């Protein structure tokens, strides 16, 4: 296809304005412009998509189906223009037409169909799957409301609905011809026909699944994939019988019930709640997806017997775990094959990625709910559970505790992780440490029985978005120093070339200038969004991620209070100006997390208004942290806080974004920080705290946070200050109580007090290093140079090699 020039792009946008909005470029609003630009790119991508699909069909390639309840896509206009290689002509055309490109890009709402790490990972992977020319499709739900918008009112989080489809539907193409029907409830009837047992589900409720597709462009390729988002519709607009009896509200109930399924994304991150609507969402999504995959497969091959050779279904955590019984159901009940054949196909098609070891995040669905909502699925799960248990009993010669650990159904609950282990071909963790914990701890018994299933694929991020696109200054420097744009496709070999400039003062100075310019840009953004005046000469020290106790935002707060109290004691203290930035959404029902947000705001209020802190210390809580904010913040950050209790953060991906943009990490040996440390060494990051084993040992031998509190005077003072609160008069005794004595949970469950002294020490080392700007920039350069292993292209190549066994573009 011909590449757009400024002129042809302008023409294409004008045509769209005329044809779709009935306006000229003079009359067009910024919103019109955004949609017209999106449509121009969408047309091009759709044309490429038709060709890609044909190629894949002709070559009969194995397809990857990436199923995730979340895809945190963020914005697409700049990303698609970038990947299609038309960002420059598009910007020029927009400008030519009398608009500001940045303002048009800023109009686009984030597609916030996810909570945090897991959802953003899925989005990054779509980019790499496409760039590596793997035939793939993502599947999820077309939530009407994405992750809530966070407002801070009087220091507290308020949640507002995120109606993203109002503006953000420009990328979606409805495909009513691919509709699927999903069944809930009803009863089962069994009958024999010769030697074949038929099972019929009767009296069920129908819900229609209508796909809305988003086309995905790759970088430097015409290969195109898509993300299929299922919308839920009722097959009957209204019950005319009830309507005619004057039961108007009741007449619309079934429709409302169906459509509730795709209404809203559950905002809990790392916390399971057994809500029936959530199970409906999961089955709706799973059933529609599996039906559509099997239908396409039969269209192409006329049989299901080679299904597993031509398809692989990767499931993002256990949320889509029902694919296993659902695929079994379709193969047996619809395609009419035997249990054994169906099982062979299923276990060779499905692979499961685990993203968390927190007990409260593991899904366990009550038998009762499963049985009434999904009677046939329940039956199949029972049979899977029975056979798996027989295998375990045989292997472990009846060892009760092992059989219990591995059980798919136990104590009236279906354990989704065990279902995935039993019914999948692979189980992978998302960092080396995390995969080891799965093998040696969480899934130890299953791993001993089937060790070959357990794999590791360390997470990665889309470095074209998270570096090249959002940090053009750094991108040009990298291109200049590494000799071109090779790093965009081969970061693992190209970026290390930067290492040899560590002694080049000029290069280091330029790195510093780029960072400073990005800090100014972020300061401008923060001023516009929230009215904050950031000190751009200060260290930008950042912790952004979901709010969770295990991520230990509170530990960061403790360290800041310590610094503040020192400054109060000695206003002349020699302190390089320091600006602490927080951004985090708390799950609406997570009271402790919400208290921590409020505490950060109380502290910010105190510090920012205390004259002693002027030009020295600042604290800000950034409202509504989201993908598009991260895109301005990452390039501007200097310190990356990755301070979770060792063993708790499966991988982290924010840590990788910071590293790639040259921030230095203060972190524990947790998740992917471990692999970061392997490439950087002690000298290029600030490591602190207990290691995974030490955390366990300390727990087992009786951890006593109160003793630490009584013996460490500065710690004592910090916690007392938190109890007492700040000038707004709000006390936080509850948080301190929780640390010292626990409340329904163990005292200081995440061992903040144990790590506090070593954390403060790491902060001191970091601040001392910052004074030596040459040294700092050297370290920053090494971080960028060695961040190539964290590119999503590498992760996807690993999946392709070790789990999917599919070829890809090298």
Query: How many C-alpha atoms does 637 have within 13 Å on its Cβ side?
Result: 33
Neighbouring C-beta atoms of residue 277, cutoff 10 Å? 13
| CB proximity list for 502: less than 8 A, separation 6 or greater | 508, 778, 781, 782
Sites for ligand 26W among residues 56-115 (CB under 6 A): 115
For 628, the enclosing helix (H) or strand (E) is helix 627-633
Rounded least distance, CB 669 to ligand 26W, Å: 14
Q: Interface mask (CB under 6 A) for ligand 26W, residues 167-206, using x and -?
A: ----------------------------------------
Distance CA 539, CA 638 (A): 6
Q: Is 283 in the site for ligand 26W (CB under 6 A)?
A: no
709, 715 contact by CB (below 8 A)? yes
Kind and range of the H or E run holding 491: helix 491-494
Whether 233 sits among the annotated catalytic residues: the reply is no
Q: C-beta of 486: minimal distance to ligand 26W in Å?
A: 28
Do β-strands 409-410 and 413-415 pair in parallel, antiparallel, or remain unpaired? Answer: antiparallel
Would you say 80 or 459 has its CB closer to ligand 26W?
A: 459
CB 277 within 8 A of CB 284: no
Between 64 and 430, whose beta carbon lies closer to ligand 26W? 430
Task: Based on the shown chain and the rule CB under 6 A, indicate whether residue 670 belongs to the binding site for ligand 26W.
Answer: no
* 319 Cβ neighbours under 8 A, 6+ residues apart: 68, 69, 282, 363
For the record, the structure tokens of 693 come out as: 């084993």
Which one among 653, 684, 777, 787 touches ligand 26W, defined by CB under 6 A? 653
Which residue in the list 280, 465, 551, 578 is annotated as catalytic? 551
- The CB-of-18 to ligand 26W minimum distance in angstroms stands at 44
3-state secondary structure of 286: helix
DSSP H/E element including 76: none
**What is the Cα–Cα distance from 777 to 79, expressed in whole angstroms?**
29
List the catalytic residue out of 439, 463, 545, 794.
Answer: 545
Nearer to ligand 26W, 13 or 351 (CB): 351
Report how far residue 638's alpha carbon sits from residue 774's, in angstroms, rounded to the nearest whole number: 14
Q: Write down the least CB distance from residue 648 to ligand 26W, Å.
A: 8
Whole-number minimum distance, CB 272 to ligand 26W, in Å? 4
Closer Cβ to ligand 26W, 339 or 550, answer by number: 550
d(C-alpha 569, C-alpha 691), whole Å: 34
Please say which residue, 307 or 804, places its beta carbon nearer to ligand 26W: 804
Q: In the set 121, 470, 495, 796, which binds ligand 26W (CB under 6 A)?
A: 121
Q: Does 647 bind ligand 26W (CB under 6 A)?
A: no
Interaction mask 250-279, ligand 26W, x per CB under 6 A: ------------------xxxxx-------
Residue in 214, 507, 650, 739 binding ligand 26W, rule: CB under 6 A:
650
Is 355 a catalytic site residue? yes
Q: Which of 215, 653, 668, 692 is catalytic?
A: 653
Sequence-distant (6+) residues with CB within 8 A of 249 are none
Please give the residues from 484 up to 513 whose contact with ligand 26W meets the rule CB under 6 A.
Answer: none
| 651 near ligand 26W, judged by CB under 6 A | yes
Cβ contact 597:547 at 8 Å: yes
Q: How far is the CB of 676 from ligand 26W (least distance, A)?
A: 13
CA dihedral of 627, 632, 634, 640, whole degrees rounded to 10: -90
Pick from 101, 109, 112, 116 the residue near ligand 26W by CB under 6 A. Answer: 116
- Give the bridge partners for 456, in sequence order: 429
CA separation for the pair 653, 431 (Å, rounded): 10
How many residues in the shown chain lie near ligand 26W by CB under 6 A? 23
Q: CA 519, CA 632: separation in Å to the nearest integer?
A: 9
Tell me the closest approach of the beta carbon of residue 342 to ligand 26W, in angstroms: 28
- Radius of gyration, alpha carbons of the chain: 27
Q: Which of 10, 308, 463, 546 is catalytic?
A: 546
Phi-psi region of 650 (alpha: psi -120 to 50; beta: other; left: phi over 0): alpha
Sequence-separated contacts (24+) of 439-448 with Cβ below 8 Å: 441/357, 442/354, 442/357, 443/417, 444/405, 445/392, 445/396, 445/402, 445/405, 445/406, 446/405, 446/406, 446/418, 446/421
Instruction: Indicate the residue among 104 and 126 with the shorter CB distance to ligand 26W.
Output: 126
The closest of 126, 139, 17 to 80, measured between CA atoms, is 126
Q: Name the residue nearer to ligand 26W (CB basis): 34 or 672.
A: 672
Number of residue whose CB is nearest ligand 26W: 117
Q: What character string, x for contact with ligand 26W (CB under 6 A) and - otherwise, covers 303-322?
A: --------------x-----
Rounded distance between C-alpha atoms, residue 582 and residue 470, angstroms: 20
Of the candidates 657, 782, 786, 794, the residue annotated as catalytic is 657
Site track 363-402 with ligand 26W (rule: CB under 6 A), x = hit:
x---------------------------------------
Distances (CA, A) of 64 to 61, 200, 251, 348, 570: 10, 31, 42, 13, 61
If we measure between CA atoms, which residue out of 651, 661, 655 comes closest to residue 631?
661
| Annotation marks residue 716 as catalytic | no
Length of the chain counted residue by residue: 810
Binding to ligand 26W (CB under 6 A) within 457-476 occurs at: 459
75 belongs to the catalytic site: no
Task: Report helix angle 87-96 to 30-59, nearest 10.
Answer: 150
Nearer to ligand 26W, 228 or 364 (CB): 364
Rounded to the nearest whole angstrom, what is the least distance from the CB of residue 640 to ligand 26W in the complex? 14
Number of H helices and E strands in the chain, helices first, is: 36, 25
Q: Minimum distance from CB of 364 to ligand 26W (Å)?
A: 10
User: Cβ of residue 691: shortest distance to ligand 26W, in angstroms?
Assistant: 17
Identify each DSSP E strand in 354-401 by its residue range.
364-366
- Rounded Cα–Cα distance for residues 623 and 530 (Å): 8
Element (H, E) at 428: strand 426-429
Q: Which is nearer to ligand 26W, 369 or 479 (CB)?
A: 369
Residue 154 Ramachandran class (φ > 0 left, ψ -120 to 50 alpha, else beta): left
CB of 434 to ligand 26W, least distance (A): 8
Site pattern 140..159 for ligand 26W (x: CB under 6 A):
--------------------
Nearest to 595 by CA among 426, 795, 503, 731: 731
Closer Cβ to ligand 26W, 201 or 431, answer by number? 431
* Contact status: 355 vs ligand 26W (CB under 6 A): yes
Closer residue to ligand 26W, CB minimum distance, 61 or 592? 592
Min dist. Cβ of residue 548 to ligand 26W (A) = 8
Q: Given candidates 179, 361, 632, 730, which one binds ligand 26W under the rule CB under 6 A? A: 361
Q: Is 84 helix (H, G, I), strand (E, B) or coil?
A: coil
In whole angstroms, how close is the CB of 172 to ligand 26W at the nearest point?
24
Q: Residues 403-432: x/- map of binding to ligand 26W (CB under 6 A)?
A: ---------------------------x--
> Considering beta carbons, is residue 469 or 649 the nearer one to ligand 26W?
649
* Residue number with CB closer to ligand 26W (12 or 264): 264
Enumerate binding residues for ligand 26W (CB under 6 A). 115-118, 121, 268-272, 317, 355-356, 361, 363, 430, 459, 649-653, 671
Could you give the residue numbers annotated as active site? 355, 545-546, 551, 653, 657
């Amino acid at each position: 296809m011909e590449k757009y020039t400024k002129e042809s792009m302008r023409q294409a946008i004008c045509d769209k304005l005329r044809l779709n909005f009935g306006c000229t470029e003079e009359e067009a609003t910024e919103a019109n412009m955004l949609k017209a630009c999106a449509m121009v790119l969408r047309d091009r991508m759709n044309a490429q998509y038709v060709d890609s699909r044909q190629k894949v069909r002709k070559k009969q390639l194995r397809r990857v189906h990436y199923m995730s309840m979340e895809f945190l896509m963020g914005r697409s206009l700049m990303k698609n223009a970038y990947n299609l290689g038309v960002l420059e002509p598009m910007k020029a055309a927009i400008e030519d037409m009398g608009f500001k490109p940045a303002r048009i890009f800023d109009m686009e709402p984030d597609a916030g169909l996810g909570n945090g790490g897991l959802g953003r990972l899925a989005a990054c992977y779509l980019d790499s799957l496409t760039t590596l020319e793997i035939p793939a499709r993502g599947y999820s739900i077309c939530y009407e409301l994405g992750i809530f918008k966070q407002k801070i009112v009087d220091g507290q989080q308020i949640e507002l609905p995120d109606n993203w489809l109002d503006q953000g539907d420009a990328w979606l193409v409805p495909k009513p011809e691919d509709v699927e029907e999903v069944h809930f409830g009803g009863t089962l009837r069994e009958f024999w026909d010769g030697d074949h047992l038929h099972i019929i589900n009767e009296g069920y409720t129908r819900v229609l699944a209508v796909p809305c597709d988003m086309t995905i462009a790759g970088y430097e390729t015409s290969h195109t994939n898509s993300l299929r988002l299922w919308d839920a519709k009722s097959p009957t607009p209204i019950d005319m019988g009830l309507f005619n009896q004057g039961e108007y509200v009741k007449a619309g109930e079934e429709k409302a019930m169906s459509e509730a399924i795709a209404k809203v994304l559950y905002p809990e991150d790392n916390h399971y709640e057994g809500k029936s609507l959530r199970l409906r969402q999961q089955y709706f999504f799973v059933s529609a997806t599996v039906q559509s995959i099997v239908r396409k497969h039969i269209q192409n091959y006329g049989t299901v017997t080679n299904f597993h050779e031509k398809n692989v279904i990767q499931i993002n955590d256990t949320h889509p775990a029902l694919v296993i019984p659902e695929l079994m159901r379709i193969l047996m009940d619809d395609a009419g094959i035997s249990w054994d054949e169906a099982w062979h196909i299923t276990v060779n098609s499905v692979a499961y990625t685990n993203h968390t070891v927190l007990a409260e995040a593991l899904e366990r669905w009550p038998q009762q709910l499963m049985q009434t909502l999904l009677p046939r699925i329940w039956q199949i799960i029972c049979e899977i559970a029975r056979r798996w248990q027989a295998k375990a009993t045989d292997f472990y010669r009846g060892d009760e505790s092992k059989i219990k650990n591995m059980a798919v159904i136990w104590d009236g609950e279906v354990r989704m992780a065990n279902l995935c282990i039993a019914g999948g071909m692979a189980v992978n963790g998302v960092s080396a440490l995390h995969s080891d914990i799965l093998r040696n701890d969480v899934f130890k018994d299953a791993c001993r029985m089937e060790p070959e299933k357990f794999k590791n694929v360390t997470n990665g991020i889309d470095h074209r978005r998270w570096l090249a696109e959002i940090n053009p200054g750094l991108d040009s420097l990298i291109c200049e120093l590494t000799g071109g744009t090779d790093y965009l496709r081969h970061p693992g070999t190209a970026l290390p070339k930067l290492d040899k400039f560590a002694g080049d003062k000029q290069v280091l100075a330029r790195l510093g200038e780029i960072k400073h310019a990005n800090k100014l840009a972020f300061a401008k953004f923060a001023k516009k969004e929230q009215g904050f005046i950031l000190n751009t000469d200060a260290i930008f020290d950042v912790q952004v991620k979901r709010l969770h106790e295990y991520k230990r935002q509170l530990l960061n707060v403790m360290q800041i209070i310590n610094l503040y109290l020192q400054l109060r004691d000695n206003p002349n203290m020699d302190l390089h100006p320091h600006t602490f930035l927080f951004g985090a959404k708390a799950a609406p029902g997570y009271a402790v997390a919400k208290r921590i947000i409020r505490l950060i705001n109380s502290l910010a209020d105190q510090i920012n208004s205390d004259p002693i802190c002027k030009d020295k210390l600042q604290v800000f809580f950034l409202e509504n942290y989201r993908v598009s904010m991260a895109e301005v913040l990452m390039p501007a950050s200097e310190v990356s806080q990755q301070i979770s209790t060792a063993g708790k953060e499966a991988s982290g991906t924010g840590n990788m974004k910071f590293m790639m943009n040259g921030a230095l990490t203060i972190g524990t040996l947790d998740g992917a920080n471990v692999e970061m440390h392997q490439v950087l060494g002690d000298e290029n990051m600030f490591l602190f705290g207990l290691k995974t084993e030490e955390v366990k040992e300390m727990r087992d031998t009786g951890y006593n946070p109160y003793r630490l509190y009584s013996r460490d005077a500065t710690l004592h003072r910090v916690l007392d200050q938190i109890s007492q609160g700040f000038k707004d008069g709000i006390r936080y005794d509850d948080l301190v109580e929780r640390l010292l004595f626990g409340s329904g949970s163990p005292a200081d469950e995440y061992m903040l007090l144990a790590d506090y002294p070593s954390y403060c020490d790491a902060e001191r080392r970091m601040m001392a290093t910052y004074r030596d700007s040459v040294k700092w920039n050297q370290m920053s350069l090494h971080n960028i140079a060695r961040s190539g292993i964290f590119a999503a292209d590498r992760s996807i190549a690993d999946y392709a090699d070790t789990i999917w066994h599919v070829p890809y573009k090298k």
